[in-house]
């Protein structure tokens, strides 16, 4: 009996060695491929690794040695081939339209793509503005400035006619929906309806209108549709009710278009950046006037519940956001270029610090864990509660 148990233990030990050997070979090969191609660990890749780990445990302890090893080895091979390969298409002569190029991410992207040899159509709100003038001065002569307010259907149509006359039968290789509006960062109850409407008009409806107008040119080129969404469009963040809702709508629109345009040979991707230091955060003047505009728009009982002192401190969030945002736009530019020019682009990208971690926390942990984290990390005001909550808290302490 003792020798029989010893034989079983030896067999189990040998089996574990085989699994460890397969895991070691897979890990080394996968790591080499990830580093060689500078692949970011997106949600699908992490979820795949977790699935492999669970599968390994099941195969090792439940299935027979031969069946378990075969199944686990096959899963490792599939995952290895699923890791994207850095295969970039030539940038030269490809025509790409970018909205919102007056400043910020769109402005930087227009410059970057122009340097790569792309025929850039830079959509701007003001062709005579400082951002447009800088693009004209710095970029190559092949960059074209396009007057394009994405909330103005007449300008969208005129831009389409202009672009179509230039690209002709070649079509349009790419559209980058970059134009964006943030408005106010405040409790959802305090944000004026005008801000909700403008966020939806610019961030969502504008992107839909541009897509509907330009999609025939995109289908002709079998090109790329890229939407610049936001981490706030994937993950609920206190203070971003208006902006986050509009970006969530854009993300869903992008996902549905990915399914529908697949048969036309058009590839669709959404970029979900974290905080980058751009003009979307507004100016000091914008921050200073926010509390007065909120007070002018809220009902008296809401003003009473929150208190003017609480509303006045909301403007302090902007300098904090500006300081904590990254000034290095390189991760964003690399991801957008991959979405536009990779032979096999990802459907989703998360450039920037925390743009991957926070959505993972939201997706894979119990919701109460994420909610507590979000309230602590992004709470509108960490030092001051709304007036009614302060009064209630004081009563509870004294009771």
Indicate which residues carry an active-site annotation.
243
Contacting residues for 53 by C-beta, under 8 A, at least 6 apart: none
CA distance 79 to 98: 34
Element (H, E) at 177: strand 174-177
CA distance 207 to 276: 21
Using the structure block, give the residue that is written with the tokens 């230091």: 277
Q: Are 242 and 188 in contact (CB under 8 A)?
A: yes
Token pair, residue 175, equals 């559209």
Token pair, residue 159, equals 């831009």
- Of the chain, the end-to-end C-alpha distance in Å amounts to 71
Element (H, E) at 122: strand 119-124
Contacting residues for 108 by C-beta, under 8 A, at least 6 apart: 329, 332, 333
Question: Sheet of 119-124: strands edge to edge?
Answer: 144-147, 119-124, 95-98, 174-177, 224-228, 267-271, 348-349
CA-based nearest residue to 147, from 99, 187, 195, 110:
99
Q: Are 390 and 310 in contact (CB under 8 A)?
A: no
CA distance 383 to 78: 51
* Buried residues in 205-235 as b, exposed as e (16+ CB within 10 A): bbbebbbebbbebbebbebbbbbbbbbbbbb
């Amino acid at each position: 009996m003792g020798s029989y148990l010893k034989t079983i233990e030896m067999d189990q030990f040998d089996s574990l060695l085989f699994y460890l050997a397969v895991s070691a070979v897979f890990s080394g090969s996968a790591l080499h491929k990830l580093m060689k191609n500078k692949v970011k660990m997106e949600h699908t890749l992490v979820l795949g690794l977790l699935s492999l780990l669970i599968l390994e445990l099941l195969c090792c302890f439940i299935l027979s040695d031969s069946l378990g090893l075969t199944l686990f080895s096959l899963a490792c091979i599939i995952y290895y081939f699923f890791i994207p390969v850095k295969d970039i298409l030539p940038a030269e002569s490809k025509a790409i339209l970018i909205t919102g190029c007056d400043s910020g991410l769109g402005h930087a992207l227009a410059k970057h793509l122009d340097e790569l040899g792309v025929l850039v159509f830079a959509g701007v709100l003001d062709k005579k503005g400082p951002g447009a003038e800088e693009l004209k001065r710095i970029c190559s002569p092949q960059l074209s400035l396009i007057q394009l307010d994405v909330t103005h259907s007449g300008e969208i149509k005129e831009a389409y006619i202009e672009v179509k006359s230039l690209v002709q039968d070649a079509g349009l290789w790419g559209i980058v929906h970059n134009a964006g509006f943030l408005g106010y960062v405040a409790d959802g109850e305090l944000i004026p309806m005008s801000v909700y409407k403008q966020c939806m008009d610019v961030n969502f409806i504008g992107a839909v209108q541009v897509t509907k107008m330009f999609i025939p040119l995109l289908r002709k080129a079998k090109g790329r549709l890229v939407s610049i969404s936001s981490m706030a469009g994937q993950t609920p963040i206190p203070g971003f009710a208006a902006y986050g809702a509009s970006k969530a709508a854009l993300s869903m629109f992008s996902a549905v278009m990915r399914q529908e345009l697949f048969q036309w040979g058009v590839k669709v991707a959404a970029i979900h950046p974290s905080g980058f230091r751009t003009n979307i955060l507004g100016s000091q003047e914008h921050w200073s006037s926010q509390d007065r505009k909120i007070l002018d728009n809220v009902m008296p009982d809401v003003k009473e519940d929150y208190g003017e002192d609480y509303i006045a401190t909301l403007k302090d969030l902007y300098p904090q956001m500006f300081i904590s945002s990254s000034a290095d736009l390189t991760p964003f530019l690399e991801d957008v270029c991959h979405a536009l020019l990779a032979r096999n682009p990802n459907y989703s990208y998360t450039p920037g610090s925390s743009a991957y971690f926070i959505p993972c926390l939201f997706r894979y942990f119990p919701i109460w864990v994420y909610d507590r984290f979000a309230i602590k990390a992004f709470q509108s005001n960490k030092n001051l509660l709304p007036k009614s909550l302060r009064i209630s808290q004081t009563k509870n302490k004294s009771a």
